């Protein structure tokens, strides 16, 4: 699994997850369950999430997330 992106909010993480699901990308949103303990737009070290993508889907995931990755 390759770390690819840190969503800025739970809402952004859900949008990304829905897009990756729609294209059949194998991924894991690390910290997803813990982030609901401290919901809100501000991601701190306590509620930070990290998108991990399986090696064979990294190129597709980067293409799908171009707008998110360019915004950083």
pLDDT digits (tens, 9 = 90+) for 8-59: 888 899 999 999 999 999 999 988 666 555 555 555 566 678 999 999 999 9
CB of 42 closer than 8 Å to CB of 11: no
Q: Say what the pLDDT of residue 29 is.
A: 92
Q: Say what the pLDDT of residue 70 is.
A: 81
Q: Which domains does the chain have, with CATH numbers?
A: 2-71 (3.30.70.1530)
Cα 14 from chain centroid (whole Å) = 8
């Amino acid at each position: 699994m390759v770390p690819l992106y840190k969503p800025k909010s739970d809402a952004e993480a859900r949008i990304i997850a829905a897009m990756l699901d729609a294209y059949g990308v194998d991924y894991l949103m690390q910290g997803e369950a813990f982030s609901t303990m401290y919901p809100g737009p501000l991601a701190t070290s306590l509620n930070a999430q990290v998108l991990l993508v399986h090696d064979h889907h990294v190129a597709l995931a980067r293409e799908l997330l171009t707008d998110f990755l360019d915004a950083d």
